[in-house]
Amino acid sequence: MIHETAVIDEGAQIGERTRVWHFSHVMAGARIGANCTLGQNVFVADGVTIGDGVKLQNNVSIFSGVKLEDDVFIGPSAVFTNVARPRSAVSQREAFATTLVKQGATVGANATIVCGVTLGRHSFVGAGAVVTHDVPDHALVFGNPALLKGWVCQCGGPLVFSENEGPKTAVCESCARAFERTGDEVVRA
C-alpha cells in the first residue's frame, strides 16, 4: 500500500505488504523489506537498507549510511545523523559514517542517534536520548548523553540480573525467557 501523496523514486525496492503513508519519500537505491510500515512524512535516502518488519513512525528520516535490520522500531521524530562534523560549505558525501541498528532494537520518540554507532540486538533507546556510543545487545539506555540504565528482554520486559558469582542470570517476568550476563554481554540462557 503506497499512499497517493508518497513519492517512490524509480529504482527503489519495496518488499511485499509494506505500507508507505502520507507525504513520505523513498529515494532510488533504497531497499525496504517486507511487512514494514513507513508512517507519515518519512524519508529514506539512496543506499539505505531496511530489513523486514521494520516500523518507522511519523517524521523519521533515514539518511545514507544508516542500516536497519529486521524488526526494528523507530519512534516518532527520532533523528539519525550521517556526518560527524557537518559544514554547509564542505561536501562530505564520501565521509558518511555507518550507523547500524541491529535486529529488534527500539529507538524512542525524539531520540538522536549520532552517526557511526551500533545499537545492539533488542536494545532499547529511551525517548529523547542522545546516543553517542555503541549500545550493547539488550541494553536500556536513556538521557543526554545516553547512559546504560538497565537491561531488557526481546519482548521489551525488564531484566533484573542476579548478583551471584560468575555469570549473572535473569528471567523475564513478561515472557519467561532466561538470560545470562557477563559484563555488558547478554545472551539467552
* pLDDT the model gives residue 167: 79
- Structural domain count, the chain: 1
Examine residue 34 and state whether it is found in any structural domain, yes or no.
yes
Instruction: Give the pLDDT confidence score for residue 163 in this predicted structure.
Output: 83
51 falls within a domain: yes
Does 93 map to a domain? yes
Cβ atoms of 168 and 161 closer than 8 Å: yes
The pLDDT assigned to 92 comes to 85
Extract the residue ranges of the chain whose pLDDT is less than 50: none
Domain encompassing residue 135: 7-154
- Edge to edge, the sheet with strand 73-74 lists 19-20, 37-38, 55-56, 73-74, 106-107, 124-125, 139-142, 147-152, 158-159
Nearest by Cα to 172 from 162, 180, 160: 160
pLDDT at residue 62, as a whole number: 97
Residue 97's CATH number: 2.160.10.10
Residue 35 lies in a domain: yes
Asked whether the whole model's pTM tops 0.85, one would answer: yes
The whole-number pLDDT of residue 156 equals 96
